[in-house]
Structure 1
Amino acid sequence: MESTPHHIFERQLTGFAQRIEAYLDQLLPEGAARAPRLVAAMRYALLAPGKRIRPFFVAESARLFGVAERSALQAGAALECVHCYSLIHDDLPAMDDDDLRRGRPTVHRAFDEATAILAGDALLTFAFEILGSAETHRDAQVRGELIAELARAAGKDGMAGGQMLDLQAESENVADLGRIITLQAMKTGALFRFACQASAILGQAGTAERAALTVYAERIGLAFQIADDILDVEASSATLGKATGKDKAAGKATFVDLLGLDGARAEAQKLVREAKDAMRLFGEKAAVFSAAADYVVGRQK
């Protein structure tokens, strides 16, 4: 099979996924667990097969600023803990009520609801334990900035706030493009912003570099969500590893509903172009970010 840029990037992403998964396995071992069932549920969510694209962005951003690999893995692992916590809670009956995630039963189905809630809580707090470790960075001020940034990304003005707006949009049958963009920028985009900003913090990058990464992350986060909405219409549950068509059934307005399939694809491509433009500041070192942008809108799962 001919190696296309898309396939080359996929292999690169897969290789990194294996690296971060091995690191997560080491960070959260089963052996010394004081609450074995809780740790088993945490590991079930954290080590389930996934793209690991958020920690991948942390690692690649680290290369821009000469950040040590260990520091990037620590920040990426913390981010993945927050992402997996959010998936556990999103899948609960009180939220999206899903039975399938990453091709396997959701945590509350594999264990029970109470264990799932606690596993999500524990992964969220474990993320800050990781960032607070001296292994993340020797400078406590840098660690403090990382912790504050992840807290903002995950909290009331970020992912949790976006989820609240999403629930309200469902109950109110909201079909306003501006509101959908705002909630997705919070729910999905905030963690992408942290993914790109974490290594800038670790590398103590300048204002221009941080601004470029912020624009890139915001565009990619939104493009990622649009691609998800398209896949929710076009792909099967077997391909995605989760239930499809649930947003439509729940009455949620998606980018596909508001823009149509062709319009949604065009908007995603526009966002990708803007993301690539933002990274021109870094020259050839930004090549992988261009490939990642193309992957986000071209993926099949």
Structure 2
Amino acid sequence: MKPLPEVRGKLLRDEPLGPFTWFRVGGNADALFIPADADDLADFLKALDPAVPVSVLGVGSNVIVRDGGVEGVVIRLAGRPFAGITTEGDTITAGAGALDSMVARASAKAGLAGLEFYAGIPGTIGGALTMNAGCYGAETKDILMSAWGLNRKGERVDFALADFGYTYRHSEAPADIIWIEATYRGTPADPEAVSAKIAEITSRREQTQPIREKTGGSTFKNPPGHSSWKLVDEAGWRGKLFQATGGGAMFSELHSNFVINPGEATAADIEGLGEAVRADVRAKTGVQLDWEIRRIGRAA
């Protein structure tokens, strides 16, 4: 790869990405950039050769990094400059690196209802913006007011809610935008009542999802009129080990839309399992399962 621009943050060559993902699998990034702040990121993007591919990695809760690693530069928004959360009146503003669950807790402290469902999403605000993240009957589009980020040229772009064109787990915003901050509107409410709802969501998630396993959250989107977990279950894939190149992966016994790495899985095991299940379900039911987990990088 060509020489990269000078930065104030960390710029690491040939850096393993597996440790940054919940699956704990995957190859190395050609380069991993952890910017010092938004200005550092903007300067880097402005100076970076346009031919160099750029990928963004949050907390790695909903991504498979393929075993061959990721070409170009992987950007990770980590640390306090990207994780700030502030409230004013009925609005709450959060950095793209803030955990969704922390935003939910901050909304409770401020006495703002409507963001409780974020307690059930194991990612960051940046990821939530990208995919209209949601659970338990609520979605990002229901509470978002606006957001801003940087495009591939390092230029600031501002988006109102309508600009996202949100549908189920999908946004029409350009894929090259690296989100920096979002502002939400809540509904004034009793802080104890908001906290109680968050506790209920957290408890439900702990009881029904394999959150202590090496997993990637919901694997497939729900097809219209169907539940993905039922389709996977009825096709006989719950708890069935699939091996491609490593120790194997499986769909959780607890929740059959959650792939887990039970030990020594490779990215090829995990993605191969997903593709095998998609093909099997399509053959048996005619229903197409679409990935909710993002896959990035090169095959080994």
**Greater strand content:** 2
TM-score normalised to the size of structure 2? Answer: 0.26
